[in-house]
Chains A and B, each alone.
Chain A
Amino acid sequence: MRDTLAQRRLQHLLWRAGFGPASAEWSAWMRRPQEVWWPMLRRQSAREPGELFVTDDVVRGLFMGVGEFARVEELTPEERRQRRAQSRELLQSLNLLWLEEMTLTQAQLREKAALFWHGHFASRNLNIVFQQDLLHVIRTHALGNFGDLLRAVSKSAAMLAFLNNQQNRKARPNENFAREVMELFTLGRGHYTEADIKEAARAFTGWGFNARGEFVFRQNQHDRGVKTVLGHTGRFNGDDVLDILLEQRQTARFIARKAYRFFVNDERVPDERVLWLADRFYDSGYDIGRLLDDIFSAEWFYDTENMGNQIKSPVVLWVGLRRALPMTLDDPEAQLLLQRALGQVLFHPPNVAGWPGGRTWIDATTLMLRLRLPHLLAAGDAIDLNADEDDDIAMGQGRAGRLRRRLRAELHWEPLFEAFAQTPADELLPALAQYLWQTPAAPERLAVVRKHINISTREQLLQTATLQLMATPEYQLC
């Protein structure tokens, strides 16, 4: 008999520090004692990530400056349109490539942390090269040093373009970049003044990028005057301002709170716990790995109120489902429409504040799709969506009508069969519920599941039970 609490704790860790257990690896994980779980996850993410590439050098050359369509004057409007369409397609490829990586990689912790930073440093940009570069920056530093990450992101073409810093010049400062760096990347609202923003914007004047997407400092557009930011006065440039922001303990608190909400609990955040994490994070010089060590090694991480209480984001839901139930999709691009329908498209955050998460993922429409998803997969049903809604990339291209994509998959049941090979048939349903649900199974609801499964063979039982257990509100939680 398995120790159900220990199993639940292990699953909790694998869901929060990754995308849930992969069925093929489940038996091996179950044999490991708790004290090696976290070190193991850390070790599996220790190596530098390879870059996720969808552009070769030729394509890269083609897309230089593609975010600045209006300025590429030698292109005709038609050429520009084509270039934009190509970039959009490649961005979709990058999206799918990253999903594959999340699903298949051993480095679960790194990709989960990268997803956190992808939402934190939210950026929308048409240029595939810029986006690919920013993703690499984020994945490289996901478990590294927050200061390095902040500096690298702030100097990325994707972010500079998105926050209009290319237009931030001495004569006419554009405050957008300075504002978001303070409000969303470091301090949070209420910890700076409008004057701080104005002054910081002056310090960032001249920060830009060239057509290759490389950071450039345009001396002649930089305001060399004296600025006062958060009580410090000097002839600051952008790097100085980032240093000042990192010097603030508030930055550590802001990040620690956000990390707590993402990894632990997005509804109940005890202040003293965040302060404890923040102080240690600050004292470590912003070592993200250490912050995550503190979170995932803490006994409170496994408190009842922190387990099975988080609504999975669409990406976590989908990747987690694919890890539990591996599949070969007939049409991988259907996953793009699925992301859209569920309300989270990678590389398309709703705004620079990222995805708000939690209960905002759920409305009647998204929940019903989540509930129907397992059966859609099994039945190879089509999913219908408008392609051009809420999409400034497709907007105006006049693509009328609804896009239909078939979410058909060949489901690979073997890993699940093997993981539960030793479970007696009459214990299979509760065992699967224990594996797939992070909340305790209420007997009356398990009874409904039991009524709607096919028990004629062991295979049928396992398959129908898995699909039905996934088609529940309970499965939306981790």
Chain B
Amino acid sequence: MLIKRRTFLKTASLAAASLWLPRFLHAHARPDALPNRGKALVIVQLSGGNDGLNTVVPVRNDVYYRERPRIAIKATDALRLTDEAALHPALVGLKHLYDSGDVAILHNVGYPNPDRSHFRSMDIWHSASPAHEYWHTGWIGRYLDAQCQPPNPCYAPALELGDAVGLVLKGQHRKGIALHEPAELRAATRSAYFAEYAAAGANLAHDDTPIGYLHKTMTDAIASAEYIFEKSRAKPSTANYPDTPIGRQLRTVASLILGDADTVVYYLSLSSFDTHINQPMQHQRLLGQLDAALTAFAADLKAQGRWSDTLVMTFSEFGRRVGQNASGGTDHGTANQMFFLGGALRRQGLLNALPNLNDLDQGDLKFDTDFRQVYATVLERWLKARHQPILGQAFSLLDFI
């Protein structure tokens, strides 16, 4: 090792570094399998507060049509799921997936004392804290902390497709990685200087001090970037995806799943759901983008035989008020539905009753399922982890996974 390293330092060039470096850096980080090896969780965050009532439309509900004279989705336009429920007309692909048993929808998900501020409510969904507590770690981050311990050190276990790692992927010790494109991430970390510098700090990797933590993070970042790049090129997706940010992101996710990356959690977001003004056009556009990207993703993974290893879950920080506002939009509300997509759902279709619009809390929906029950279920049934240490308390599990 020592000789190799010295030779390396002498002859280091970018090319040499790229050939040799990953293996060296992998040495301390090479993973053993996570318990759920091969299974991926894809979380899609709908930022801004998606209007759940216009996403899954209660087409037989008079209160809905009375409260939303300008923006209600006509029963004849909506895509019928059951006698009472129908999807927004933009969700054509999801309707097909629903019909083929690849979709489950859980209504009225929320939490006690809901907060109507975007960032605070998002904070609560990310951290899974009670509404009155401020936690500095996210639920997936704590999952990483719990799982990624010797002899199970993990490897690029959680990726966020975006600029920055959100709270949700931050644990006390382990954190996810943010990227747009594997190649871009790799370019940002690839330099002979960084590689040699990281190698010269290898003795600090097990040092639990700030400098040790920094060196370890640097080494992991370089190695992970290389690893993600390799995996994304191993068996890249060749399917057609819409040329939208979320379409491109899901293509990247598919490539990593197909390339057998050890990544367990992929995190994506689609924003601009804060439809206070002239909602219909904007909502149609956003749901259309979401629908096209998810449909392409499902088709791709089905064709490649990986759909049953994949669970997609959507959420938004809150739903919107039942009544429309004066600007052809809706204001911040509370409970909302979550979508689950995948080839391994134990129950499909509508998992529970539509929101009761006759029993509102000052014009807002009442939740009946705590979002942390969903997290607990995903942790236990999909990620094979005990939920109580991660969520801080025990929740009753749901049965759809």
Give me the interface of A with B, judged by CB distance under 8 Å. Answer: 77, 81, 124, 179, 184, 267, 308-311, 340-341, 343, 350-353, 356, 358-360, 362-369, 371-372, 384-386, 388-392, 395-400, 439, 442, 444-445, 447-449, 451-452, 468, 471-474, 476-477
CA distance A399 to B176 in the complex (A): 26
Residues of A with C-beta under 8 A to B167 = 350
Closest Cβ–Cβ distance, residue A168 to chain B (whole Å): 15
Tell me whether B197 and A396 are in contact (CB under 8 A). no
Residues of B with C-beta under 8 A to A448 = 9, 193, 196-197, 200
CA distance A472 to B201 in the complex (A): 11
Shortest Cβ distance from A385 into B: residue: B163
| 8 Å CB interface, B168-190 against A | 170, 175-180, 188-189
Closest Cβ–Cβ distance, residue B20 to chain A (whole Å): 16
Shortest Cβ distance from A474 into B: residue: B211
Shortest Cβ distance from A184 into B: residue: B134
Tell me whether B48 and A395 are in contact (CB under 8 A). yes
A–B Cβ pairs within 8 angstroms, 14 of them: A351-B123, A365-B164, A365-B165, A366-B165, A384-B163, A385-B163, A395-B47, A395-B274, A396-B273, A398-B272, A400-B272, A442-B200, A452-B196, A473-B215
Closest CB pairs A-B (n = 4): A396-B274, A473-B214, A364-B221, A353-B134
Tell me whether B217 and A363 are in contact (CB under 8 A). yes
Beyond A395-B274, A396-B275, A448-B197, whether A360 also contacts B170 by CB under 8 A is: yes
Mask of B123-144 contacts with A, CB within 8 angstroms, 1/0: 1000000001010100000000
Residues of A with C-beta under 8 A to B217 = 362-364, 367, 473
| 8 Å CB interface, B83-124 against A | 117-120, 122-123
Tell me whether A352 and B282 are in contact (CB under 8 A). no
CA distance A396 to B163 in the complex (A): 18
Closest Cβ–Cβ distance, residue B216 to chain A (whole Å): 9
Shortest Cβ distance from A401 into B: residue: B245
Beyond A368-B188, A392-B117, whether A473 also contacts B272 by CB under 8 A is: no
Tell me whether B119 and A124 are in contact (CB under 8 A). yes
Closest Cβ–Cβ distance, residue B348 to chain A (whole Å): 32
Tell me whether A473 and B211 are in contact (CB under 8 A). yes
Closest Cβ–Cβ distance, residue A237 to chain B (whole Å): 24
Tell me whether A444 and B177 are in contact (CB under 8 A). no
Residues of A with C-beta under 8 A to B245 = 400
CA distance A128 to B226 in the complex (A): 44
Tell me whether B209 and A364 are in contact (CB under 8 A). no
CA distance A389 to B165 in the complex (A): 11
Tell me whether A363 and B175 are in contact (CB under 8 A). yes
| 8 Å CB interface, B220-263 against A | 220-221, 224-225, 245
CA distance A392 to B332 in the complex (A): 12
Residues of B with C-beta under 8 A to A368 = 188-189, 218, 221, 225
- Is B194 among interface residues, defined by CB-CB distance under 8 A? yes
Beyond A350-B119, A356-B136, A395-B272, whether A477 also contacts B165 by CB under 8 A is: no
Closest Cβ–Cβ distance, residue B266 to chain A (whole Å): 15
Residues of A with C-beta under 8 A to B193 = 448, 452, 468, 471
Residue in A356, A362, A449 whose CB lies within 8 Å of B214: A362
Tell me whether A390 and B189 are in contact (CB under 8 A). no
Tell me whether B272 and A311 are in contact (CB under 8 A). no
Closest Cβ–Cβ distance, residue A344 to chain B (whole Å): 11
CA distance A447 to B196 in the complex (A): 10
Residue in B132, B134, B271 whose CB lies within 8 Å of A388: B271
Tell me whether B272 and A396 are in contact (CB under 8 A). yes
Total A-B contacts with CB atoms under 8 angstroms apart: 153
CA distance A83 to B9 in the complex (A): 58
CA distance A460 to B393 in the complex (A): 59
- Is B162 among interface residues, defined by CB-CB distance under 8 A? yes
Residues of A with C-beta under 8 A to B166 = 390
Tell me whether B175 and A364 are in contact (CB under 8 A). yes
Tell me whether A362 and B118 are in contact (CB under 8 A). no
Tell me whether B213 and A390 are in contact (CB under 8 A). no
Mask of B264-296 contacts with A, CB within 8 angstroms, 1/0: 000001011111110000100000000000000
Shortest Cβ distance from A311 into B: residue: B210
Residue in A310, A353, A362 whose CB lies within 8 Å of B213: A362
- Is B36 among interface residues, defined by CB-CB distance under 8 A? no
- Is B327 among interface residues, defined by CB-CB distance under 8 A? yes
Residues of B with C-beta under 8 A to A472 = 197
Residues of A with C-beta under 8 A to B176 = 363
Closest Cβ–Cβ distance, residue B11 to chain A (whole Å): 12
Beyond A372-B188, A474-B211, whether A447 also contacts B200 by CB under 8 A is: yes
Residues of A with C-beta under 8 A to B162 = 386, 389
Residues of A with C-beta under 8 A to B200 = 442, 444-445, 447-448
Closest Cβ–Cβ distance, residue B342 to chain A (whole Å): 26
Residues of A with C-beta under 8 A to B213 = 359, 362
Residues of B with C-beta under 8 A to A310 = 210
Closest Cβ–Cβ distance, residue A295 to chain B (whole Å): 20
Tell me whether A473 and B132 are in contact (CB under 8 A). no
Closest Cβ–Cβ distance, residue A94 to chain B (whole Å): 19
Beyond A371-B194, A372-B188, A473-B215, whether A364 also contacts B164 by CB under 8 A is: no
Closest Cβ–Cβ distance, residue B226 to chain A (whole Å): 12
CA distance A78 to B271 in the complex (A): 21
Beyond A311-B210, A351-B120, A398-B282, whether A365 also contacts B271 by CB under 8 A is: no
Beyond A351-B134, A473-B201, A477-B211, whether A390 also contacts B218 by CB under 8 A is: no
CA distance A364 to B171 in the complex (A): 13
CA distance A386 to B120 in the complex (A): 20
Beyond A356-B136, A362-B214, whether A81 also contacts B177 by CB under 8 A is: no
CA distance A389 to B269 in the complex (A): 9
CA distance A367 to B225 in the complex (A): 13
Residue in B122, B178, B210, B220 whose CB lies within 8 Å of A390: B122
Tell me whether B201 and A445 are in contact (CB under 8 A). yes
Residues of A with C-beta under 8 A to B197 = 445, 448-449, 472
Residues of A with C-beta under 8 A to B180 = 384
Tell me whether B119 and A77 are in contact (CB under 8 A). no
| 8 Å CB interface, B324-346 against A | 327
Beyond A77-B277, A363-B175, A364-B224, whether A477 also contacts B118 by CB under 8 A is: no
